[in-house]
Chains A and B, each alone.
With several copies, the nearest count.
Chain A
């Protein structure tokens, strides 16, 4: 397991997991909180930086890869999960993290999200959800309220039922599902630790305010309430979600399910030729 990876010389602090690049994020962006919580979690788990890979998509949030001092891959828009899955399956010795925004993960990347939930490869997925496309200057994302008229692209609002990440994850079979708030770095760090240690696909929806295009999200602080009770009973989980107002935080669902990990033997490639030989 990743948590047993070799530990470098001395004990590292959260700051040691940050790179020296200055984030392009707007001052006050929720994503700073996620970066803090993530590096705290890596330090708490004493993971050797070189044993960790952080894969990201495209968006403000997806820039996070370069701000950590681990191996990083800033891929193309929407494909963070297959990229991370390939790495996790091919290199089970690594701790593989995937991160990105609500647009990246639920709009263009929505299909990979469902199938990653089903597949259950051993990786942790952090979705930095600000209910907007920050990077392209403020259009509605799947999680945007259906009557939000803040974008010129949907002047009358998106008029679509908002995408519900936890509901979809549960319906798709994800074994570890949680919600957190970016500006509660300690709570978030704890959840990330648990997600990383979980042997399978663990996803955390992180409410991460976009101060520039959704300034009203500064009010999230007052709305979040840590009321999820972890369960592995489907009926209970659905009940909790029916009652959810979108701001309940904590671990919702944790089920035992063997992680996807194809087994491999150590045969000689040359032997594969035999079946073609004509005796």
Chain B
């Protein structure tokens, strides 16, 4: 295997300068060229017109997180760029291109000792006033990466096609002018190869979740917008009607989750998406879904917390509420996708789990996955992974069998009882959030109360999660245990260590609850040191693991809050430390 090469660049500019738009065009071009790529965005606090940065990383191998440092930074201007300083990992080998006319180089760039190369947008434009610096910058990058005119025109078409041929034409012309300026990069540039291995997609994690929902069978969504989950809802709003479903905009999250429950009670698989504050408003009704055994899926795209927190940035701090946020004994599955493609798979699996087990299921995504756009190899969509043998179809009652009266909550080996849907003659029954007996009648008797608690617990314990409870990679006497968006930087950190001869296996847990304790303990066999990695302040995942599993005697935890995602170097350092500690 050849060592993956990757290249990182950022385009920044103030409101209206078009940094993001240029970034998207480049992403499309790169996708077209056959490379893999990932793009994240960073904004200042303004609603619109504030400073913005498009961070692009491209590679000849799949890549799902930003790199340690920037190879290239192009400033369309420097206005208020200070607020993005944290997002831009400039160091002394970063090449910085900027037009001195747009302002002085910020102190933090000077301080980093970056290799500043001045250019002049107006000169490059050759006097053409229609020529925008952001498109010129695309041309500069095209030159650096060796992206040909055809590729760039196709990308411009994708980006601006809807605005008419003239716009595409102007953009393409600017891009070609930009090519004149090709800074020298003494840095390995990934090879552009037009023969891609297979079909490629350009997709965000949120889009992937939405697609996974539809492929899983979701045909109803009730929505209340919230950053960074809104794109899931917006995508579904436009697509569900085309496949026989619909989306209702609700007045709040209390309404959206209840609408979903109503639709699902009617037999229509339902999902909603939200983020921390919205999830907090849904927990009462999620408890009702547990008690009444009505399937529903909630995709919670985490952002910085607590409270309103940092809505536009990643953090993995909703694990506690996702697993434990319901009152009473209300166990339910929680799945965390650990990559952008996995947003599709995990969300589909969540629908499968919900429908098969008649339970609410939470998908714990985060802003770092949801709002990152990547160029990826097309995942398998026809069949897709499911947990173990689960069929993903709801077990329905069809009128036969039950002897006397229909028992909605009949006890059974796997804890799942056939559901009679409205419309089925003879299956009429009333479900309730009150403690109930097998027929669903309210009761206060210990025996009935306990029977239903046992039955619902059994559902979660008796399905076989197969291989899908975690992604396990590598080997060694050390293990890194993580979940969600921390997985990509972890993987990259471990690859760097492997290259140095330091072996460490990675266990990225996908099924956060119920934990596959036996599976995890087996995956840890032969491991004597572990690092638990998560992007939150309290170490919520670590506590959760401790509560349920035996962890290696020497277990340390690397947990810190967002809003900056982990960088591979942090992982490398932590594992190195772990090696030394246990040597001592």
Interface residues of A (CB under 8 A from B): 8, 19, 21, 24-27, 48-55, 58, 60, 65-66, 68-79, 81-91, 93-94, 107-108, 110-112, 114-115, 119, 133-137, 139-140, 142, 151-155, 158, 212, 262-273, 276-279
Q: Chain B nearest CB: distance from A157 CB in Å?
A: 10
Q: Which residues of B contact A75 (CB under 8 A)?
A: 258, 261, 285, 288, 433
Partner of A76, one of B202, B247, B284, B378: B284
The reply to whether A83 and B259 contact each other, CB–CB distance below 8 Å, is yes
Within 243-277 of B, Cβ neighbours of A (below 8 Å) are at 243-256, 258-268, 270, 277
Partner of A277, one of B199, B237, B247: B199
Q: Which residues of B contact A65 (CB under 8 A)?
A: 430, 432
10 closest residue pairs by CB, A with B = A86-B262, A72-B430, A86-B259, A90-B263, A82-B258, A262-B246, A91-B266, A87-B262, A74-B432, A108-B252
The reply to whether A110 and B251 contact each other, CB–CB distance below 8 Å, is yes
Most buried by A among B238, B246, B430: B430
Partner of B255, one of A55, A76, A77, A82: A82
Could you say which interface size class chain B belongs to? 35 or more
Q: Which residues of A contact B220 (CB under 8 A)?
A: 86, 89-90
The reply to whether A115 and B255 contact each other, CB–CB distance below 8 Å, is yes
Partner of B251, one of A91, A93, A108, A263: A108
Q: Which residues of A contact B225 (CB under 8 A)?
A: 133, 136-137, 139, 153
Partner of A142, one of B251, B253, B258, B430: B251
Given known contacts A82-B254, A89-B248, A94-B422, is B265 in contact with A77 (CB within 8 Å)?
no
The reply to whether A24 and B47 contact each other, CB–CB distance below 8 Å, is yes
Complex CA distance for A198 and B226, rounded to whole angstroms: 35
Given known contacts A75-B433, A277-B199, is B214 in contact with A272 (CB within 8 Å)?
yes
Q: Which residues of A contact B255 (CB under 8 A)?
A: 79, 81-82, 85, 111-112, 115
Complex CA distance for A134 and B230, rounded to whole angstroms: 13
Q: Which residues of A contact B284 (CB under 8 A)?
A: 76
List 16 interface pairs A-B (beta carbons < 8 Å), by A numbering: A65-B432, A66-B441, A75-B433, A76-B287, A78-B252, A82-B255, A90-B246, A90-B263, A91-B266, A133-B225, A135-B227, A152-B235, A153-B247, A264-B246, A269-B243, A278-B199
Closest residue of chain B to A55 (Cβ to Cβ) is: B262
Q: Which residues of B contact A71 (CB under 8 A)?
A: 265, 420, 422, 427-430
Complex CA distance for A21 and B426, rounded to whole angstroms: 16
| B211 at the binding interface (Cβ < 8 Å) | yes
Complex CA distance for A65 and B440, rounded to whole angstroms: 12
Partner of B422, one of A21, A51, A66, A82: A51
The reply to whether B238 and A86 contact each other, CB–CB distance below 8 Å, is no
The reply to whether A136 and B226 contact each other, CB–CB distance below 8 Å, is yes
The reply to whether B249 and A50 contact each other, CB–CB distance below 8 Å, is no
| B328 at the binding interface (Cβ < 8 Å) | no
Q: Chain A nearest CB: distance from B35 CB in Å?
A: 11
The reply to whether A50 and B426 contact each other, CB–CB distance below 8 Å, is yes
The reply to whether A53 and B214 contact each other, CB–CB distance below 8 Å, is no
| B307 at the binding interface (Cβ < 8 Å) | yes
The reply to whether B441 and A273 contact each other, CB–CB distance below 8 Å, is no
Complex CA distance for A158 and B247, rounded to whole angstroms: 11
Complex CA distance for A93 and B264, rounded to whole angstroms: 15
The reply to whether A77 and B277 contact each other, CB–CB distance below 8 Å, is yes
Q: Chain B nearest CB: distance from A160 CB in Å?
A: 8
Q: Chain A nearest CB: distance from B232 CB in Å?
A: 11
| B188 at the binding interface (Cβ < 8 Å) | no
Complex CA distance for A272 and B212, rounded to whole angstroms: 11
Q: Which residues of B contact A8 (CB under 8 A)?
A: 425
14 new A-B pairs (CB below 8 Å) besides A50-B427, A267-B242, A277-B378? A69-B428, A73-B292, A74-B433, A87-B265, A91-B266, A94-B423, A112-B255, A115-B251, A137-B225, A212-B47, A265-B242, A266-B243, A273-B381, A278-B31
Partner of B262, one of A73, A153, A265: A73
Q: Which residues of B contact A135 (CB under 8 A)?
A: 47, 227
Partner of B203, one of A158, A212, A270, A276: A276
Q: Which residues of B contact A88 (CB under 8 A)?
A: 262
Given known contacts A87-B263, A90-B220, A108-B224, is B241 in contact with A262 (CB within 8 Å)?
yes
The reply to whether B243 and A272 contact each other, CB–CB distance below 8 Å, is yes
The reply to whether A262 and B251 contact each other, CB–CB distance below 8 Å, is no
Complex CA distance for A31 and B487, rounded to whole angstroms: 42
Given known contacts A58-B308, A73-B292, is B242 in contact with A272 (CB within 8 Å)?
yes
Q: Which residues of A contact B263 (CB under 8 A)?
A: 86-87, 89-91
Partner of B375, one of A93, A153, A268, A278: A278
Q: Which residues of B contact A85 (CB under 8 A)?
A: 248, 255, 259, 262
Q: Chain B nearest CB: distance from A80 CB in Å?
A: 8
Q: Which residues of A contact B48 (CB under 8 A)?
A: 26, 212
Complex CA distance for A52 and B427, rounded to whole angstroms: 12
Complex CA distance for A73 and B207, rounded to whole angstroms: 33
Q: Which residues of B contact A72 (CB under 8 A)?
A: 428-431
Q: Which residues of A contact B49 (CB under 8 A)?
A: 26-27
| B45 at the binding interface (Cβ < 8 Å) | yes
| B50 at the binding interface (Cβ < 8 Å) | yes
The reply to whether B265 and A82 contact each other, CB–CB distance below 8 Å, is no
Q: Which residues of B contact A51 (CB under 8 A)?
A: 422-423
The reply to whether B259 and A89 contact each other, CB–CB distance below 8 Å, is yes
| B140 at the binding interface (Cβ < 8 Å) | no
The reply to whether A82 and B434 contact each other, CB–CB distance below 8 Å, is no
The reply to whether B262 and A84 contact each other, CB–CB distance below 8 Å, is yes
Q: Which residues of A contact B428 (CB under 8 A)?
A: 49-50, 69-72
Q: Chain B nearest CB: distance from A39 CB in Å?
A: 13
Complex CA distance for A82 and B254, rounded to whole angstroms: 8
The reply to whether B46 and A26 contact each other, CB–CB distance below 8 Å, is yes
Most buried by A among B28, B45, B203, B259: B259
Q: Which residues of B contact A267 (CB under 8 A)?
A: 242-244
Q: Chain A nearest CB: distance from B267 CB in Å?
A: 7
Given known contacts A21-B441, A76-B433, is B422 in contact with A278 (CB within 8 Å)?
no
B12-52 near A? 1/0 per residue, CB < 8 Å: 00000000000000001001100000000000011111100
The reply to whether B234 and A91 contact each other, CB–CB distance below 8 Å, is no
| B215 at the binding interface (Cβ < 8 Å) | yes
Q: Which residues of B contact A87 (CB under 8 A)?
A: 262-263, 265-266, 422
Closest residue of chain B to A70 (Cβ to Cβ) is: B428
Q: Chain A nearest CB: distance from B335 CB in Å?
A: 21
Closest residue of chain A to B208 (Cβ to Cβ) is: A276
Partner of B237, one of A84, A110, A153: A153
| B223 at the binding interface (Cβ < 8 Å) | yes
The reply to whether B47 and A86 contact each other, CB–CB distance below 8 Å, is no
Closest residue of chain B to A48 (Cβ to Cβ) is: B425
